[in-house]
Structure formats: structure tokens, C-alpha cells
Homo-oligomer: A and B are copies of this chain.
Amino acid sequence: METVHHKPAFDRADPSRKKTVLDAGIGEFAEHGYEKANINVIAKKAGISVGLMYKYFDTKEDLFLTCMDCAIDTMTTEISEVVNSDAKILNRAEQLVRTVQRTSREDTTFVKLYSGITELKNDQHVAYFAEKIERVSYEAYHAFLERAQRDGDIRPDCDTRMFAFFFDSILTTLQFSYVSDYYRERFKIYCGDDVFEDDERVVREAVKFLESAFTFSQAEVKHKNP
């Protein structure tokens, strides 16, 4: 469960060189997936020799891991502001959906890279990435659900961890729906071919769904106060 997957030589490399290499790697891995990605091609794209590539990374896997780490870091900082804003939960949800719509369209790379994780054999690495990617959102979501519950803003009888999980599931699925070919198709099947042309509809309904899920349902109320 190491954090560093590159050799010292990569640390010593020129920052612009590092960026070029990681960009080339991220691009190739996102485009072709882990297995089909070709190190020789990545080296060429980065404008360096294969040999140097192997001075920087011991194996193809290490290169991939480093690319993932980098991409995650980039994404995490982008998202964490939104996630950790002190807005009310539903305002955050709204902001998150809008962020997903905007950034996913701009940068499909991360989500594509994301699926490369599946190709990894090593359980350790999978756990490492899950931890790194999911922990931030989890902490944020769970924390504000706890607070909201204390403040009486959401139903008192819900398991905040499970509800945070459902909350994130909706957002993650939405994110995939703006990026992955398969999920885009699925989105169109469920919500119509024009769903990508009406972002407001998506925001509105998502917020409605989540708002409703988090508050006392009328049925529940009836049940409790007969």
C-alpha cells in the first residue's frame, strides 16, 4: 500500500518533463485502457526514449499507478472545494450536479482512466485507490449528514453512512453518464435522447429526488402520528 510508484529519477526530472510524461500516460491509458496502452507509444508521445521511461518507472503498472495518483490528485482538489463548501446539503447537491455536468464534459479523461483500475490484479492497489478516491467524499458527505441530522434538517431515523453512500451513488452514476459511452447510452434510454440538452432538468430532478429522500416522508409521518 505504498504511495509512491516511481523511481527517484522521476523526482529529479524537470517539472515540465514530469507533466509531459504523466499527461502522455494519462492520455494513453484513458484512451486504450491499461492492457492495450503501449509504453513505447507513451514514451514517444512524451518525447522521450523508452529507456528513460524505465529510468522513471520500474514497470508499466507503476507508470499506470503514478498516472492514476496524479489524476486523482487533480480531480480531488477540483471537487473538494465544492464538497466542503458550507452550504446547506441540497445546495451542495445542486452544486455537485452542476460541477459534474461541467467538468465531466471538459475532462472525460479521469473517468475513463478510472475504469482501468478494474484491470488491475493487485487487490492492494485497488484498495489503495478506493481509499484515496472515495475517502474525501465520504468524510465530507457523512460529516454534513451527521450535522444536518443533529440540526433536524434531515430525518432522524436514517443511517447516515448508508445515506451518504446512496447520495454518492447517484452523483457517481451521473458523472459516468456524462463521460462513458455505455453510461451515456443508458442515460439516454432512461431519460430520453435529449437529456444532454437540458442540464436544468437533470439538476432539478436530482435535487428533488435527494431532498425528498433525506427528509421525513409524508407516509412516514402518517405512520408515526396516526
Chain B residue with minimal CB distance to A153? B219
Residues 8-39 of A, flagged 1 when their CB comes within 8 A of B and 0 if not, give 00000000000000000000000001011000
Which of B123, B155, B161, B213 interacts with A210 by CB under 8 Å?
B213
Interface flags, A161-175, vs B, CB<8A=1, else 0 = 111111011101110
Residue from the set A142, A155, A168, A219 with the largest chain B CB neighbour count within 10 Å: A219
Within 8 A of B (CB), among A183-204: 185-187, 189-192, 201-202
**Smallest CB separation, A7 vs chain B (Å):** 13
CB of A31 to closest CB in B, whole Å: 10
Cα–Cα distance between A192 and B33 once the two chains are bound (Å)? 31
Q: Can you name the residue of chain B whose Cβ is closest to the Cβ of A161?
A: B191
Minimal Cβ-Cβ distance residue in B for A31? B121
Contacts of A161 in B (CB 8 A): 190-192
A211 touches B205 (CB 8 A): no
Do A123 and B168 touch across chains, with their CB atoms under 8 A apart? no
Q: Smallest distance from the beta carbon of A142 to chain B beta carbons, Å? A: 8
Of B130, B185, B192, B216, the residue contacting A212 (CB under 8 A) is: B216
Given the interface contacts A126-B181, A126-B185, A219-B216, does A209 sit within 8 Å of B135 by beta carbon?
no
Write the A78-102 contact mask toward B (1 if CB under 8 angstroms, else 0). 0000000000000000000000000
A interface with B by C-beta (< 8 Å): 33, 35-36, 115, 117-119, 123, 126-127, 129-131, 134-135, 138, 142, 155, 157-159, 161-166, 168-170, 172-174, 180-182, 185-187, 189-192, 201-202, 205-206, 208-221
